[in-house]
Chain A
Amino acid sequence: MIIEPRPSVSILRAGLAPVWAILFAMALCAVLIAWAGGSVLTAYGLLFKGAFGSAFAINETLTRSIPLIFTGLAASIAFRAKFYNIGAEGQLYAGALAATFFGTGLVTLPPFLMIPFLVIMGALAGGLLLLVPVLLKTKLKVDEVVTTLLLNFIVLLVVGYLIEGPWKDPMSLGWPQAASIIDEGVLPPLLAKGRLHAGLILALAMAVLMWVMIRFTVQGYEIRAVGNNAKAAEFSGIKVNRTVIMTAMISGGLAGMAGVSETAGLKGYLTLDLSPGFGYTGIAVAMLAQLNPLAVVPAAIFLSAVYVGSDAMSRAINIPTYIADVLVGVSVLAVLCSVMFSQYKVRLRA
C-alpha cells in the first residue's frame, strides 16, 4: 500500500471530511447496536428524538453543549500553537473553585458586575493553573501532555478535599458539596422553562472572539505561525515562548470559564460530578472542528446531542449509554483519518 499526497485539496473535499467521518462512525456503531440486540433504525431514531425531538430535548442538548464549546475552544486554541493542553478538565474545576471562592458570599456586587467578576476570576484561575505546565515546557522542555494530564487528578483531589472539608456546605444534609453561589452571581436562565442559561451567550461570544483573534489579529497570526513552523516564526521575529505562554493562558482561561458557567449557571454549587469529563470531550470537539473556533459550536452541539440522545435511547430500549462514548470516539478517529484522506490518497500496490 502506498500513500501519496494529493496535488491539491479542494475546499469541498476538506469540508466534507467530518461529515463522512460521522457517517462512518454511525455505520460502525450500527453494528454494535444490532449486536446488542436493538433495531438500528429505532435506536438512531430515538437518539435523534432524544436530542432534538422536543423543546425540552433541544434545551437540554444546548445546555450540555455550553461547557463543550468552552473546552473545545480551549483545545482548539492551544493545539493551534502545538501546545497540547490535555488539562482542560482540571482548569474547568479551577474555574469552578474560583467561582465558589468568590461567589458564595466573600464578594457581593450587583449582578451586572458580579457575573463578569466571577467569569474573570474563573478564567484567571484556569489560566494560572496552566502557567505551571507551560513554564515547565518553555523553560525546561517538560512535555505538557504529561503535566497537564496529571494536574487534572491533583485538582480533582483538591476539590474533593475542599467540599468534604473546609468548604462543605453545612446545609447540604451531608452531601459533599460547597455552598451555593449567591443570587447576584447566578447566570440567568435564557428561557422560562428548561435549564438553558446565559452561559450559552458567553460561549458563543467566545467562539466568535477566538475566530476573530485567530483570523484577523497579529496575535492569531503568531499563534498559527508558531504552531505550524516554530523555527520560521522565530526567524521572522516572533517571540515563540511568549506566544506559547499567551496561548496557554487563553486556553486555560476558556476552560476555567466552563467551570464558572457550570457552577454559576447550571448547578448553582460545586460538586465532584460537576464535569463528566467535559475537558476531555473538548479535545474531541476541537478535533471534529478541525481547530476552527466557529466550527467548535456545531461540533460541541453534535457531541452534546449524541450524549443527551443516547441517554434517552438507552432509557427507551436496552442499549447501554456507552454507545455514546463509542460513537464519539469513533467519530474523532474517523475525522482524523478522513482529514488525512482528504490530503493524501492511498493506492493499493498492483
Chain B
Amino acid sequence: MHPVLEFRGVTKRFGTLTANDAVSLTLDKGEVLALLGENGAGKTTLMNILFGHYQADEGEILVDGNVLEPGSTQAAITAGVGVVHQHFTLAGNLTVLENTTLGTESLWSWRQDNKGAREKLVSLAESYGLAVDPDAQVSDLSIGEQQRVEILKALYRDARILILDEPTAVLTPQEAERLFATLKSVSQSGLAVIFISHKLHEIMAISDRVAVLRRGALVGTVATGETDSAKLAELMVGQVVKRPELVPLDAGKPILELGGVSTPGDGATSLHDVSLTIHAHEIVGIAGVAGNGQGRLADVLSGLIGGFSGSVKINGAPLAAGSPRDVVASGVGRIPEDRHARGVVGDMEIWENLASEDLRAPELSRGAVFINKAFGVSRAEQQIQEFDIRCEGPFAETKLLSGGNMQKLILARALSGQPSFILANQPVRGLDEGAIAYVQSQLLNARKRGAAILLISEDLDELMALTDRLAVMSHGRLSEALPTGSRTIAEIGLMMAGQSAEQQVA
C-alpha cells in the first residue's frame, strides 16, 4: 500500500540558498506528522512546493503513489491537499457557508446548490466536532472559530491531507487545546495531518511522528513516543542553545508610570484606562491575543501617538508624546513589533538606519543640514562589532540582512544610548534559537544595569521565563501586573479571552 503522501528528494534553491535539500518524507493515512524546524529551516518552502506555489528544482511529490503535477495549485487541491494558512484566507463579509463554498462551484452554473452545500457542511461539522453556525458572518467570529471555518473549508473540498501552518500562533491556550482535540478526531477518521510548528510542547502533545528540518535538510524523523522535548530541541537547533535565565533582582525606583491612559475610540484596539508602573531592574510582560490594544500601547510609548488622556511619565517627567525623537532623547529605547515594516528602511545603508533616530542630534548633523557621515559610519562600525551584526559593513544595504541580524541592528540602535526604559514589542518573533538567546540576554543585561523593560509578547512561554511581573491585555484593558508565576497559564489564557479574575471565581 502506498503512503498517502511522499516527498522524494525534493530540493529547492533560491540563488545560493538551498531552502530544501533532498527532503524525503512519507505520510500515512490517519497520521499526525509534526514538521519541526526553526524559522528559515524550510518548512514553509516545502509546503509551498506541495501546494504548487513553488516548483522543486529536483525531486517529486507523490500522492497515493501518483506523481503530483509540479507548480499547480489546482492539481494539489484535486489530489486532496488542504492548507490552513497562518493568516486566514476568509472573506469577512461573507457567511461561513458562503466562505466554504467559495470557489468550488462552476462559474457557469446558473444557481447555487445551497441546500446540498449546507447539508454537507453541517454533517462535516458534526462528524468532526467543529461547531460553527453556517449562517454566521465570518467577521463576527472569534479567531478560533475562524480557524475552524478554514479547516471546514479544506474538508469541504474533500481534503485527505490537511496542512496547518503554525496554527496556534493566534490562539489562546484554551483555543489551542480545542484545536488539538479537533485534529485528533480528524486524524482518527482517516485524514493525514501535517502540523507545522516550532513549539515543542505542542508537538509532543499532538503528533504521532516528528520530522525535523534544519537549514533545509531533513535531520531526523522520530516517533513522538520515543523522544522528548530536549532531544527534539537539539535536533532542531543542531546544538544545545541555552536561553538566558532571569536572576532575581531587587526592583529600584519607578521608571515608567502610566496613569489611566485611554486613547480615542471604543474598539478592542484602543486603550481603556491603562495603568502600570515599571521599576528599575524590572521586566514587566504583557500577554494577550494580537489586536487587543498592545499595538496602541506600544505606539503611545514610542511617541507615535499624541492624542491620549491620562498620564505617561518616564523618570518622573511627562513623555514627549507624539515626538519619537524627543521620546528617544528622554531615555526610551524602542524595539518595534515588525522589523521590516517599521524597524528599518530596507533600501538604505546599515549606518543610515543606525542613525535614523538621532539624525538631527548635533553630533550627527551640523545645524541639522549636512550629515556627519564620518561620525555615523564610525559609530555604526562600533555597533556592528559590539552587537555582532553579521554584514559586509556599514555600507551594505539593510534589506540584505537576515532577520536575526536586522533585529541586532534595531537592538544596537535602541540600546546603545543606555536607555532607562525599553519597550520591546515581540522582540524575538520569527528569530532562530541563537538570535532569540542573544536578544533575550541583551534585555537581561539592560535589566541588570537598571533599565525598566516592558515586554509585549504573544508567546506565553517567553513571558513566563523572562518577566518579573506579568499583566494581561484584553479589549484594550490591562490587568494588574502580578509577579510572574502567581497565575497559572490556564488563568492567563482565560484572561486573554476576556474574562476577569472575578468571573473565573464565579
Contacts and interface: CB of A to CB of B under 8 A. Distances in A.
Decide whether A and B assemble into one complex: yes
Interface of A: 2, 4-8, 216-219, 221-222, 224-225, 228-229, 231-238, 349
Given A234-B304, A235-B342, A228 B369 contact: no
A237 B371 contact: no
Contact of B369 (A219, A224, A232): A219
Interface stretch (B93-101, B255-263, B323-331): B323-331
22 contacts: A4-B14, A7-B15, A7-B16, A7-B17, A8-B400, A216-B370, A217-B370, A218-B359, A218-B369, A219-B369, A224-B345, A229-B341, A235-B302, A235-B334, A236-B324, A236-B356, A236-B359, A237-B323, A237-B325, A237-B328, A237-B357, A238-B356
Contacts of A233: 345, 356
B304 A235 contact: yes
B334 to A, nearest CB: 8
B373 interface: yes
Nearest to A350: B55
A234 B323 CA distance: 10
Given A237-B325, A349-B55, A229 B345 contact: yes
B348 A224 contact: yes
Contacts of A235: 302, 304, 324, 334, 336, 342-343
Nearest to B347: A228
B344 A232 contact: yes
A219 B15 CA distance: 36
A218 B360 contact: yes
Contact of A225 (B302, B345, B360, B400): B345
B369 A231 contact: no
Contacts of B368: 218
Contact of B341 (A221, A232, A349): A232
Nearest to B342: A235
Given A4-B14, A7-B16, A218-B365, A231 B357 contact: no
A232 B343 contact: yes
A289 B15 CA distance: 29
A224 B356 CA distance: 12
Interface centre among A5, A228, A232, A238 (most CB of B within 10 A): A232
The 10 closest A-B pairs by CB, nearest first: A7-B15, A237-B325, A237-B324, A236-B356, A229-B345, A235-B342, A228-B347, A228-B345, A218-B365, A225-B345
A216 B345 contact: no
Contacts of A4: 14-15
B15 A237 contact: no
A71 B482 CA distance: 62
B468 interface: no
Contacts of A231: 341-342
Contacts of B334: 235
Given A235-B343, A237-B324, A225 B356 contact: yes
B345 A6 contact: no
Nearest to A2: B55
Contacts of B343: 232, 235
Interface in B290-332: 302-304, 323-326, 328
B345 A232 contact: yes
A5 B365 CA distance: 35
B393 interface: no
Nearest to A9: B397
Contacts of A234: 304, 324
A6 B342 contact: no
Contacts of A237: 303, 323-326, 328, 356-357, 359
A229 B356 contact: no
Nearest to B339: A232
A182 B268 CA distance: 67
